[in-house]
Amino acid sequence: LTNTPSHKDGVDERTEILLRLYGCELIQEAGILLKMHQTAIVTGQIIFHRFFFRESMVKCDVRSVAKAALFLGSKIEEQPRKTQDILNVFHASAMNHLGKRIEPLATGTTRFVSLREELFNAESAILRELGFIIHAEHAHKFVLYYIRVLFGQIPPQYPELPQRSWNYANDAYRSIICLKYPAYVLACGAIFLASRDLGINLPEDPPWWNLFDAEKEQVESI
């Protein structure tokens, strides 16, 4: 993160990492409250990361971009939510973090109209900067399939493996590592980390990652 627009505007690497994490956590939290599938949430997080490789966090508000990224992610993954619902969930999150009383936004009020315009402007900025290329592939769709390939089924002796692998896949999208590697490599990395946590020995002769066209260095760097 030493050559991003934010860094060029004076944002140090640690601060940008934390702001990216913050934006992705906002997307995750809002997506759960809106009962979205993880695919929509992850798509929103990918859009968020991509946008801030084109624009600076000094010039574009992280919360506004996170909101618009999830809004777009929900539409791309065919899980659209009403504008009012998106605005209310992010508004409630902001009030909660500030320790203030949460009251729903009433449509037609000056505040609601202002936030709606902000959302649409941020959405337009994302589409403009990314050139409408916002399709995203997810590691999650590979995780369970790869586990079944390796074990023949979900291993009954390791019931935690699928969920723990899924959690690691979720974590990958909170950082720019999700842009560094393709989804199938992220899935391998998630399974590798979960297996290590649980003391599961995966095949090494031949190496299990070869089955999925991944490389050892890639898997171990995630």
Let me know if residue 135 belongs to a domain: no
Residues 146 and 118 in one domain: no
113: domain range? Answer: 5-130
Residues 87 and 172 in one domain: no
Total count of domains within the chain: 2
Rounded distance, CA 4 to CA 11, Å?
A: 9
User: Percentage of residues in the chain with pLDDT exceeding 70?
Assistant: 100
Last residue of a domain, one of 130, 152, 184: 130
Give the list of residues 6+ apart from residue 18 with CB closer than 8 angstroms, or none.
none
Residues 123 and 13 in one domain: yes
Residues 124 and 152 in one domain: no
| Per-residue pLDDT, 1 | 65
| Per-residue pLDDT, 69 | 97
Give the list of residues 6+ apart from residue 76 with CB closer than 8 angstroms, or none.
40, 43, 134, 135, 136
Task: Name the stretches of the chain with pLDDT < 70.
Answer: 1
Angle CA 89–95–98, to nearest 5: 145
Last residue of a domain, one of 67, 101, 130: 130
